[in-house]
Amino acid sequence: MKPSIRKLKKGDWHGALLPPGAPVQKAIRSLNETCLHLVLVVDPKGKLLGTVTDGDIRRGLLRGHNLETSLGKIMHRKPWVARPHHDAARILKMMMLREIQQVPVVDAGRRVIGLHILEKMVSPQKRQNLLVIMAGGEGRRLYPYTQDRPKALVPVAGRPLVEHIVVKAREEGFHQLVIAVRHFGGMIEDYFQDGSKWAVQIKYCREKKPLGTAGAIRLLPKPPKQPFLVTNGDVLADFSYGGLLDFHISKGAMATMAVRLFEWQNPFGVIQTKGFAITSFEEKPVIRSQINAGVYALSPEVLRHVPANRSWDMPELFEALRKKGLPTLAFPIHERWFDIGRPEDLAAANQKPAPAKKGGSYFKKP
pLDDT digits (tens, 9 = 90+) for 237-272: 888 898 899 899 989 999 999 998 776 677 788 888
Question: Is the whole-model pTM more than 0.85?
Answer: no
Q: CA-to-CA distance for 147 and 153, rounded, in angstroms?
A: 12
Q: CA-to-CA distance for 143 and 140, rounded, in angstroms?
A: 6
Identify the residue with better confidence: 148 or 329. 329
**Mean pLDDT (the chain, rounded):** 84
Helix (H) or strand (E) holding 214: helix 212-215
Q: CA-to-CA distance for 113 and 111, rounded, in angstroms?
A: 6
pLDDT at 294: 94
Examine the pLDDT at 17 and tell me if it is beyond 60.
yes
In a 3-state reduction of DSSP, which class is residue 325? Answer: coil
Q: CA-to-CA distance for 249 and 324, rounded, in angstroms?
A: 20
Nearest partner of 180 among 201, 198, 203, 159, judged by Cα = 203
> How large is the average pLDDT for residues 331-340?
84
Domains, in order of start, for the chain: 10-118 (3.10.580.10), 127-350 (3.90.550.10)
Examine the pLDDT at 295 and tell me if it is beyond 60.
yes
Q: Confidence class of residue 216 from pLDDT cuts 50, 70 and 90?
A: very high
Examine the pLDDT at 131 and tell me if it is beyond 50.
yes
